[in-house]
Amino acid sequence: MSVLPIVIWDDPVLRKRAEPVSANSEELQALIDDMFETMYNASGVGLAAPQIGKSIRLFVMDAGPVLEEEETDRGPTVLMNPVIVDHSEEEAKMEEGCLSIPDIRDDVSRPVSIRIRFLDRTFQEQEWDLDSWPARIVQHELDHLDGVLFTDHLSAFRRRVHRSRLSKLERGVMDVDYPVSLKGRTEIG
């Protein structure tokens, strides 16, 4: 397994609509293992394939570190071709960050609970009801598969607040302790 560089925010791959995963392969399973290693190395709770430069509809997550004690810990999970089939009317604001947008966090409003249908890493169809942080992570990562970043959900005012930090990211100025890819150039954080 290896740690892959994480693509930083103004790379076009983060803005593309990713293609469905169609077939299992040794390469796909190895990619999934590498994505888990990359996510854990960066202390993340979710990582979508476009963030390591692969424009396919796949993400990995492990909500363990952010769960409350009474919440179900589903452990390391792979979601392929995920679809939100239902969601609550109720929305809540929670503070999000993104491994592709280091040094920036902000409150994002999203539905509190969702029902998600997806293929697991053995290509079995699953349907899960999620709320709280697991629902939040799934919605954030699913956005990545559609070329959407959490900053897109912010008001014009909040985006202006972050503008100088975002332009620093574009210049490669950031405080990270994981490998990143800047416009195709790999650097070790």
CB of 124 to Ni ion, least distance (A): 26
CB nearer to Ni ion: give 17 or 127. Answer: 17
CB of 38 to Ni ion, least distance (A): 13
- Report if residue 63 touches Ni ion, rule: CB under 5 A: no
**CA gyration radius, the chain:** 16
Tell me the two tokens of residue 79.
């979601």
Strands 58-61 and 46-48 come out as antiparallel
Question: Given the structure tokens 């509190």, which residue do they identify?
Answer: 112
Instruction: Please choose, out of 20-28, 56-64, 90-98, 158-166, the segment that lies near Ni ion by the rule CB under 5 A.
Output: 90-98
CB nearer to Ni ion: give 55 or 89. Answer: 55
Which residues are designated catalytic?
141
CB nearer to Ni ion: give 42 or 119. Answer: 42
Spatial separation of the C-alpha atoms in residues 176 and 189, rounded to whole Å: 5
Spatial separation of the C-alpha atoms in residues 156 and 72, rounded to whole Å: 36
CB of 98 to Ni ion, least distance (A): 3
Instruction: Please choose, out of 10-18, 26-34, 92-100, 154-162, the segment that lies near Ni ion by the rule CB under 5 A.
Output: 92-100
Q: Which of 144, 35, 156, 26 is nearest to 96 (CA)?
A: 144
Spatial separation of the C-alpha atoms in residues 155 and 57, rounded to whole Å: 27
- Report if residue 108 touches Ni ion, rule: CB under 5 A: no
Spatial separation of the C-alpha atoms in residues 72 and 83, rounded to whole Å: 21
Instruction: Please choose, out of 9-17, 67-75, 97-105, 157-165, the segment that lies near Ni ion by the rule CB under 5 A.
Output: 97-105
Which position among 52, 56, 79, 98 is part of the footprint of Ni ion (CB under 5 A)?
A: 98
Cα–Cα–Cα angle for 135, 64, 129, nearest 5°?
Answer: 30
Spatial separation of the C-alpha atoms in residues 88 and 67, rounded to whole Å: 20
CB nearer to Ni ion: give 119 or 141. Answer: 141
The residue type at 156: A
Binding mask 35-54 for Ni ion (x = CB under 5 A): --------------------
CB of 94 to Ni ion, least distance (A): 13
Q: Rule CB under 5 A: which residues touch Ni ion?
A: 98
